[in-house]
Chain A
């Protein structure tokens, strides 16, 4: 069931990616649906699940963007691992906690990408700080909205639905 949810989430993220790419190409610089998915599944505290979610979502994102293949997979895996690790130690529940984790993860994600691009391509990312700030704000707000909607419609804490035994 959780695999199915993740697959549906991934398809939705890819659909959003395609839609924005088609109609508002610049919007993808300020909004990242894949990280919402990866962090959502990392909030359950399942480290292994978080790594798989990060790798899968990242590879799909890399395949359909102009980045080096594996770049987002790497950064998302790092973020997902950190969030899952924290959640395996602490009990973080609710929209605000999810928002805080997501915002932190986005910052880490952007920093990792920045470093990797510097190392592998010897390039600097233009307007990195501004882009990171805007992406953090928009993606966090959208992620919190999604989390709130899921809480309403799933009749249980979404994070718990990704944490049951037998998953991943």
Chain B
């Protein structure tokens, strides 16, 4: 009965509803000033519908976290890429600087050594090295145009490398002291005993013509004697590693060169004073 009456009098219903709502509003506006900001009706509605904002916040928060996580990941990936590029650049730069530092140290050593030599010197770079066969040779980037002539001595900070055996305008071929055809007038630094050093075709050399009675011990330093008309006196050649009694009057002495031929990069060319041919060929 009541359900049938209400729709026929909607205006009355509206007035009742609005009056109730107005009372509710008045209560609500009054409670705002006495500390309690939520009425019972308001709390009830909130309790019923509170799961919705909670779920929305949860989903929204998760979606936001995922989105920001994705953005952070993208940023991190880009940053990582940039850092990798930077690391590559810096590594290359570092290698270059290390190389430069190493070159500088080596060249300083060479210059320091070349200042000790009273003769005219110049600097050259090794361009080819052949120490694999019996004939040990080295090619440098200085030739006759740079004043390089046959029989110029070639050294580095560690000692004697060899001599020039062939020149072109811009290159020169060096015979290493370990070459089987190379002979150097040498002496034992400790005893000043002189002999002839010849390459043995491997990576060592043998000191010949040292009498069995001579005092030679492993570890003795061997220098150039300056008596062959090619090599200046006093250039380190190497050290005695073995000194045996030979089958005849002379000792068998093995010398390990002080230069590591596998690491030659820069060399000093000593423009030695050549003995004129008439003097060399003079026979009384």
- Chain B residues in 8 Å Cβ range of A69: 24-25, 27-28, 38-39, 41-42
Question: Is there an interface contact between A51 and B22, defined as CB atoms closer than 8 Å?
Answer: no
The 10 lowest CB-CB distance pairs between A and B, nearest first, are A70-B24, A18-B56, A47-B10, A70-B25, A69-B28, A63-B45, A69-B42, A18-B53, A74-B21, A70-B21
Q: Which of B12-20, B140-148, B176-184 contacts A (4 or more CB under 8 A)?
A: B12-20
A70 to B57, CA, bound (A): 25
13 contacts between A and B (CB under 8 A): A14-B52, A18-B57, A22-B56, A59-B45, A63-B42, A63-B45, A64-B53, A74-B25, A77-B14, A77-B21, A78-B18, A120-B29, A121-B29
Question: Which applies to chain A's interface (DSSP): helix, strand, loop or mixed?
Answer: helix
Asked if B26 is an interface residue, CB under 8 A from chain A, the answer is yes
A85 to B18, CA, bound (A): 16
Chain A 121-142 per-residue mask, 1 if CB under 8 angstroms from chain B, else 0? 1000000000000000000000
Question: Is there an interface contact between B10 and A48, defined as CB atoms closer than 8 Å?
Answer: yes
Chain B contact residue count (CB 8 A cutoff):
29
Chain A contact residue count (CB 8 A cutoff):
32
A116 to B23, CA, bound (A): 12
Question: Is there an interface contact between A68 and B57, defined as CB atoms closer than 8 Å?
Answer: no
Question: Is there an interface contact between A60 and B49, defined as CB atoms closer than 8 Å?
Answer: yes
Question: Is there an interface contact between B28 and A73, defined as CB atoms closer than 8 Å?
Answer: no
Asked if B46 is an interface residue, CB under 8 A from chain A, the answer is yes
A22 to B18, CA, bound (A): 31
Question: Is there an interface contact between B56 and A15, defined as CB atoms closer than 8 Å?
Answer: yes
Asked if A157 is an interface residue, CB under 8 A from chain B, the answer is no
Asked if A83 is an interface residue, CB under 8 A from chain B, the answer is no
